[in-house]
Structure 1
Amino acid sequence: MTDATAVADIDDTARPDLTQRIREAILAAEFAPHQRLIEADLSERYDASRAAVRTALMNLAGEGLVERLPNRGARVRAITVEEAVEIVEVRIGLETLVARKAAENLTPEGAATLAALRAEIERTAAAGDLVSYSRANQELDRLLRAYSGHGTASTLLERLHAQSARHQFRLAFAPGRAAQSAPEHVAIIDAVLAQDPDAAERATRDHLSGIVEVLRGMG
């Protein structure tokens, strides 16, 4: 190995976006549950070194998206319905905290952004545009984490959302689900816009408790 190659490998391993790119591919169902993730194939796909791919897979294993197999590399980890229920139950505590903090810390700029997103959620749900509706819901989750200013809860929630993303995707496309969940999301937004922490917590808890019941019905 030349010095130039060694430097390239070091720089490549340090690239922070490779983990994110593979994570997004898993969440977008470009890799199926239990599908093997072969380092050589990923290296070619992402134009990255094997060392960088190995590091990214280790990162994703730490997040629960990938599982390492003894002497067999890695594969996409499948989350059972039972695990998904447990994840949502943990999210209830964290997301109610985040909603409270977002209501307490909301700025005029944040309020304007949330109001626009509220309209987008109602529009896409009414139009039956489930792809855009799902994206709007993901953006709501992201904004509430950002507005809460609670770094620890936000970091934990990002990992939990990633682990249960496949089940969230199935929920979003279940018949009649958008008509039920859209008013729940609107209620959360309205409570945050009113800067009412108690109402924000209550609306968030009601929404997530409903998700738990739907997931249990999928088991």
Structure 2
Amino acid sequence: MGEDNGSDRAVVAGIREAILTGEFVPNQRLVEADLSERFAASRARVRAALLELTNEGLVERVQNRGARVRAVRLEEAIEISEVRMVLEGLCAAKAATRITEAESEELERIGENMREAVASGDVLGYSRLNERLHRRVREISGQHTAATVLERLRAQNVRHQFRLAMHPGRPTVSLPEHLAIIDAIRAHDAEAAEAAARAHLRSVIRTLPEAARRPAEPA
């Protein structure tokens, strides 16, 4: 049973990764036979994996058409970001009360690396650091329920997040927002940390419509 569960998880993880990296694009059909061959898994396992990813919001079932990668509309992306604003604020506040000295130094290094990435024009490097920072704040917070929800929301919104990351001038705007979050958490100021996280997500919400008008590039 344990081996079967491990195989099931591998199929789910493989399809999820292909969606998150942009290999499988929005509205692309997910053919069970092709996935079965790719992941060396039975059709039943692939079907179970697609059902789990449907529950996560990454895949949708279309009547008489099978499964496809779910495309998230701009309006939904904004709603997702509004929910993130509340939960990211909660995690930042919690992180400020729990952060250790070693974790504080780690966030400081991430902030320095973000500065260097912006100064050198390394947009993809900055995007990776952005994701790392948000993940570490969630982990430091110890708020596992919020972290689980946020990870699922991030996965659903990955294409809009990539457009946002590639939006001209965006790193210059978001850098001080991220540094404000880091500074407040390192100062153990929960109220300021929550306010900084919410301010950052409000900035994301304001920019999403403009970023969505630009053509999407492969992740």
Normalising by the residue count of structure 2, what TM-score does the alignment of the two structures yield?
0.91
- TM-aligned CA deviation for residue 13 of structure 1: 6.9
The partner residue of 1:33 within 8, 14, 26 is 26
In the alignment, which residue of structure 2 is the partner of 1:96?
A: 89
Tell me the distance in 2 between the aligned counterparts of 1:51 and 1:136: 38
The corresponding residue for 2:158 is 165
* SS of equivalent to 2:14: helix
CA shift at 1:70, angstroms? 2.2
The residue that corresponds to 2:140 in the other structure is 147
Structure 2 Cα separation of the partners of residues 77 and 84 of structure 1: 12
Q: Distance in 1 between matches of 2:176 and 2:58?
A: 31
2:50 to 50, 57, 60: 57
2:95 aligned counterpart, secondary structure: helix
1:14: Cα distance to partner?
4.6
2:196 matches 1:208: no
Conserved 8 A contact 1:12-1:49: no
Q: Distance in 2 between matches of 1:59 and 1:83?
A: 20
Alpha-carbon distance in structure 2 between the residues aligned to 1:72 and 1:216: 30
Any idea what the Cα deviations from partners look like across 1:65-102, whole Å, max 9, x if unmatched? 10012232200000011100000011111110000001
Pairs within 5 Å for 1:43-192: 43-192=36-185
Kept after mapping to 2: 8 A contact 1:33/1:76: yes
CA distance in 2, matches of 1:149, 1:27: 25
For structure 2, the 5+ residue unaligned runs are: 214-219
Q: For 1:129 and 1:46, locate their aligned partners in 2 and report how far apart those are by CA, in whole Å.
A: 34
Q: CA deviation at 1:165?
A: 1.0
State which drifts further: 59-68 or 48-57: 48-57
Q: Distance in 1 between matches of 2:26 and 2:37?
A: 21
What does the per-residue CA deviation read over 1:157-205, in whole Å, with 9 as the maximum and x for residues that have no partner? 1111111111010000011011111111111111111111111111111
| Whole-angstrom distance in 1 between the partners of 2:96 and 2:89 | 11
Per mean C-alpha deviation after superposition, the further-off stretch among 13-22 and 47-56 is: 13-22
Native 8 Å contact 1:66 1:76 kept in 2: yes
1:124 touches 1:132 (CA, 8 Å); kept in 2? yes
8 Å contact 2:8–2:49 — kept in the other structure?
no
Partner of 1:17: 10
2:118 maps to amino acid: A
Q: Under a length normalisation based on structure 1, what TM-score does the superposition of the two structures give? A: 0.91
Stretches of structure 1 lacking an aligned partner (at least 5 in a row)? 1-6
Q: Secondary structure at the match of 1:16?
A: helix
Give SS of 1:30's match.
coil
Q: The residue matched to 2:61 in structure 1 has which SS? A: strand
